[in-house]
């Protein structure tokens, strides 16, 4: 079997495996750093003599710049080359990580974390856009499934890896480890990943659109992140929210009028693209509540250590790793509607089972069954919804489509963290009380279960079953810009 065909690279080929390794490791770096730093916050605070407010900025500085620039970076990949922007992101992220590792004070660490977010924004949509553009249509579902599973592993092991590095070496090691990993990812990408870009993006960069999109996403993210900390009526939150809203409105107006828009608004004329992102938003809002609160209730109500609380959810990681690729392939074969209907409903069932978690609950009979059911639903959902969102957009706009879908998912997660605790009665010192955290967690899981079930109903009503069907004829230059100037070395001669 040839490694590459006229319509793309085969998943089963050596070239496909190298491409997947590069993209998964790159996006995994960004996902890992979104979670690994949380475990290190006490050590950072002690070492740099930083109070809670400074530690919150260590976390939020990364989230704000990543969310603000993720849409722009997707557009830049389509325009300048997805491989090129991805490699720039890897290099940027690695340098910023090195600065984090040697930061002598909190101010430099916060600034370096903001720089890290820029690198993460350049890597995350680029990795998925490369997969969508390079793999042949029949293999994209399987490739996206593998990307989802392995990326989920990176996010899940973050707390465990962070805890080990902090205890065994230093909090600085959680950042320093990105430097050799970044070098490996850059080498793999340059050596094995073909370049691709949209052939119709020539022309002047949409600077006005880029500026307003970045300002809009930054303002919205700051408001969401700081709302629970400062109160929703604080001047900072209100100003950030107003700036975000005004900038987003201005962005839409500009994109309607410019000849070369950063985000072609026609992409939203696809009912399937809009529907897939709506399902993403609803389901990821539900997921955000579980990922944020489960480890907290396990520590506060059941007395787990931070490492044990992180390990309690490892079955989810194992299930994702085992089934996500098959889930993507199944959706490719039978259509995404059924997986996207059943998957969120199974997730909801797992969340309902989590309402049994409380003081004295057994892991084997209470926590584990809920986690396993939740993981099965997650494996059935993540790859198909991602594949559906990308397949609904023209392949020329793979980077933009990936940026939109990533922005939707991240915004949903931020909203869950910001809004679900107060809606569930988890305010003030409630996180320190076993009784209060248990009651609030149960309420939060019921709300999240309702949202997940709504996502399943929405998918059944709006997602087309032929969305992932392979086109009869692949258009010329559909994936590669002017065909490949040179076939990557891993593809020469087939496999």
**Domain boundaries, given as residue ranges, for the chain:** 1-205, 206-261, 265-464
Tell me if 1-205 shares its fold with 265-464.
yes
pLDDT recorded at residue 116: 94
Do residues 220 and 214 make contact, with C-beta atoms less than 8 angstroms apart?
Answer: no
pLDDT recorded at residue 182: 92
Q: What is the mean pLDDT of residues 313-329?
A: 84
Q: Which long-range contacts (CB under 8 A, 24 or more apart) does 98-102 make?
A: 98/175, 98/176, 98/178, 98/179, 100/172, 100/175, 101/172, 101/173, 101/175, 101/176, 101/179, 102/172
Q: What is the mean pLDDT of residues 315-328?
A: 85
CATH architecture of 265-464: Up-down Bundle (1.20)
Gap between the Cα atoms of 265 and 261, Å rounded: 8
Gap between the Cα atoms of 461 and 53, Å rounded: 44
With bands split at pLDDT 50, 70 and 90, how would you rate the model's confidence at 355?
very high
Do residues 378 and 343 make contact, with C-beta atoms less than 8 angstroms apart?
Answer: yes
Q: Which long-range contacts (CB under 8 A, 24 or more apart) does 225-231 make?
A: 225/60, 225/63, 225/64, 225/414, 225/418, 226/60, 227/418, 228/417, 228/418, 228/421, 228/422, 229/56
pLDDT at 369 over 50: yes
pLDDT recorded at residue 297: 87
Number of Cβ within a 10 Å radius of residue 368:
13
Q: What is the mean pLDDT of residues 413-437?
A: 80
Kindly state the percentage of the chain with pLDDT values over 90: 29
pTM: 0.77
With bands split at pLDDT 50, 70 and 90, how would you rate the model's confidence at 246?
very high
Residue 61 — φ and ψ, nearest 5°?
-60, -40
CATH architecture of 1-205: Up-down Bundle (1.20)
pLDDT recorded at residue 491: 37
According to DSSP H, which parts of 335-489 are helical? Answer: 337-353, 368-391, 398-423, 434-462
Give 3-state DSSP helix, strand, coil % of the chain, rounded to 5. Answer: 80, 0, 20
pLDDT at 493 over 70: no
pLDDT recorded at residue 12: 75
Number of Cβ within a 10 Å radius of residue 242:
12
Range of lowest pLDDT (48-52, 317-321, 487-491): 487-491
Residue 237 β-bridge partners: none
Number of Cβ within a 10 Å radius of residue 187:
13
Rounded to the nearest integer, the mean pLDDT of the chain is 82
What tokens does 79 get? 């325009």
Range of lowest pLDDT (136-140, 150-154, 215-219): 150-154
């Amino acid at each position: 079997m040839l490694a590459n065909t006229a319509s793309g690279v085969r998943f089963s080929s050596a070239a496909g495996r190298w491409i997947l390794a590069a993209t998964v490791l790159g996006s995994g770096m960004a996902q890992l750093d979104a979670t690994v730093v949380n475990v290190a916050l006490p050590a950072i605070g002690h070492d740099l003599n930083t109070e809670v407010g400074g530690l919150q900025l260590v976390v939020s500085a990364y989230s704000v710049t990543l969310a603000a620039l993720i849409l722009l970076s997707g557009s830049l990949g389509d325009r300048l080359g997805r491989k090129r922007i991805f490699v720039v992101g890897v290099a940027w992220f690695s340098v910023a990580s090195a600065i984090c590792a040697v930061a002598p004070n909190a101010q430099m660490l916060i600034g370096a974390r903001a720089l890290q977010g820029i690198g993460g924004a350049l890597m995350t949509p680029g990795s998925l856009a490369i997969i969508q553009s390079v793999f042949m249509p029949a293999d994209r579902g399987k490739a996206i499934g593998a990307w989802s599973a392995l990326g989920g592993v990176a996010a899940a092991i973050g707390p465990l890896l962070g805890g080990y590095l902090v205890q065994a070496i230093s909090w600085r090691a959680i950042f320093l480890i990105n430097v050799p990993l970044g070098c490996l990812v850059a080498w793999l990408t340059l050596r094995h990943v073909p370049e691709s870009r949209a052939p119709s993006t020539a022309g002047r960069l949409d600077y006005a659109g880029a500026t307003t999109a970045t300002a809009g996403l930054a303002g919205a993210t700051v408001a969401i992140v700081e709302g629970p900390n400062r109160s929703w009526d604080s001047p900072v939150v209100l100003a950030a929210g107003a700036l975000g809203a005004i900038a987003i409105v201005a962005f839409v107006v500009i994109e309607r009028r410019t000849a070369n828009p950063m985000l072609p608004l026609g992409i939203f004329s696809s009912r399937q693209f809009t529907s897939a992102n709506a399902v993403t938003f609803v389901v990821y809002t539900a997921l955000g509540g579980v990922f944020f609160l489960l480890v907290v209730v396990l520590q506060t109500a059941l007395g787990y250590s931070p490492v044990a609380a992180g390990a309690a959810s490892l079955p989810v990681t194992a299930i994702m790793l085992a089934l996500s690729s098959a889930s993507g392939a199944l959706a490719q074969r039978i259509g995404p509607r059924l997986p996207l209907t059943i998957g969120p409903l199974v997730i909801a069932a797992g969340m309902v089972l989590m309402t049994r978690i409380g003081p004295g609950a057994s892991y084997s009979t209470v926590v584990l069954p809920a986690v396993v059911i939740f993981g099965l639903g997650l494996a059935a959902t993540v790859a198909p919804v991602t594949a559906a969102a990308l397949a609904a957009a023209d392949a020329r706009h793979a980077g933009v489509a990936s940026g939109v879908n990533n922005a939707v998912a991240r915004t949903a997660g931020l909203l869950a963290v910001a809004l679900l605790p107060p809606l569930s009665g988890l305010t003030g010192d409630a996180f320190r009380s076993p009784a209060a955290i248990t009651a609030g967690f149960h309420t939060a899981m019921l709300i999240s279960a309702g949202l997940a079930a709504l996502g399943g109903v929405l998918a059944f009503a709006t997602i087309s079953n032929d969305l992932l069907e392979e086109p009869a004829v692949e258009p010329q230059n559909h994936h590669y810009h002017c065909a490949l100037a040179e076939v990557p070395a891993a593809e020469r001669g087939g496999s």
